Amino acid sequence: MNRSVKKKITVIAVLSCLILLGLAYLKFFGKVKPSAPVRPTASATASAVPETPAAETPSETPEETPEATPETTPESTPVPTPAVPDADITSDDSMTRLLNKTYTVSSSYAPQDLRTVNVRSDHPQMMRSEAADAMEKMIGAALNDGITLKLISGYRSYREQTSLYNTYLYRYGKEKTSLMDATPGASEHQLGLAADLGNWSGYCDLNTCFTGYPTYTWLQDHAHEYGFIERYPTGKENITGIMGSPWHWRYVGVEEAGRIKASGLTMEEYYGKTN
Ligand SMILES: [Zn+2]
């Protein structure tokens, strides 16, 4: 009996020891366990965090950067230096012949297709045929809008230009005359492609106060539709070499006039010939 009692006690002791060990094990790992899942969570988060930004940030950054950089650069570049259009600016007979005190025309040049512009006028004026057609259309269109344009001056030969220059020289002196559209060989009137326009009333003829009239506003809004551009804008004197002349309109053709007007540039700037 003693033996069996001893055995029972031993078994109970061993079992209780095992239970205690088991409890201790549970207690120990029960505490450790929560810290163990933290690691996988942390590693999962860590792996998720770098993956997400790695996927989003780099894809966003390169997309934004190249898009923004090239867009800004080419957009800002064409404004000061526009792509030079494929237009003939050197041939005397070209509608887009660039003419100024640097790029002059010979004293012997005269267009071969001049004709009288068929509009109401006390002093009939001539222009090159294509420009005359456009002028007649424009004056007719203005009339439909209640604006009576007056064609003050069209074609002027080199000889007439020289006479005008000498008159101005006597009246205003050399400095002021050089800023007027009068220098022989440098006037677009010799090309038969320029016209001085004014109010039918004659108010502010060849004067900057012309800008205060609806006639000028109409020209600003519509002249390009007929192929004409304001050639010597006020504020661009240092580029054109000519004082602001809101009455002087140059024929360049409808397409080119639209492009030049939209650019907001002078012919010199538009064709990259500002020197
Ligand atoms: Zn003029």
Beta strands in 200-258 (DSSP E): 228-230, 248-251
**Tens of pLDDT, residues 97-120:** 999 999 999 999 999 999 999 999
With 0.95 as the threshold, say if the pTM is over it: no
Ligand 1 centre from 155 Cα, in Å? 9
Kindly list the distances between the CA atom of residue 31 and the CA atoms of 21, 25, 44, 115, 156, in Å, as whole numbers in the listed order: 15, 10, 21, 107, 105
Band of the pLDDT at 79, cuts 50, 70, 90?
Answer: low
Assess whether pLDDT exceeds 80 at residue 49: no
Comparing 15 with 207, the larger pLDDT belongs to 207
Quick check: 57 pLDDT over 70? no
Average pLDDT over residues 201-228: 98
The Å distance, Cα 150 to ligand 1 centre, comes to 13
CA of 80 to the centre of ligand 1 (A): 26
Distance (angstroms) between ligand 1 centre and the Cα of 189 equals 6
> What is the pLDDT averaged over residues 16-40?
44
Phi, psi of 126 (to 5 degrees): -105, 150
Spacing, Cα 247 to ligand 1 middle (Å): 7
- Ligand 1 centroid vs 193 CA: distance in angstroms? 10
Q: Which CATH class, in words, describes the domain spanning 114-270?
A: alpha beta
For 242, phi then psi, to 5°, come to: -125, 140
Going from the Cα of 127 to the center of ligand 1, the distance in angstroms, rounded, reads: 12
Most confident of 31-45, 63-77, 229-243: 229-243
pLDDT value, residue 270: 96
Helix, strand, coil in percent for the chain, rounding step 5: 55, 10, 35
Q: Ligand 1 centroid vs 230 CA: distance in angstroms?
A: 10
Instruction: Average the pLDDT over 82-105 and give the result.
Output: 91
pLDDT digits (tens, 9 = 90+) for 215-258: 999 999 999 999 999 999 999 999 999 999 999 999 999 999 99
In angstroms, what CA-CA distances link 62 with 53, 76, 141, 156, 234?
Answer: 13, 21, 53, 60, 45
User: Mean pLDDT, to the nearest integer, of 65-84?
Assistant: 48
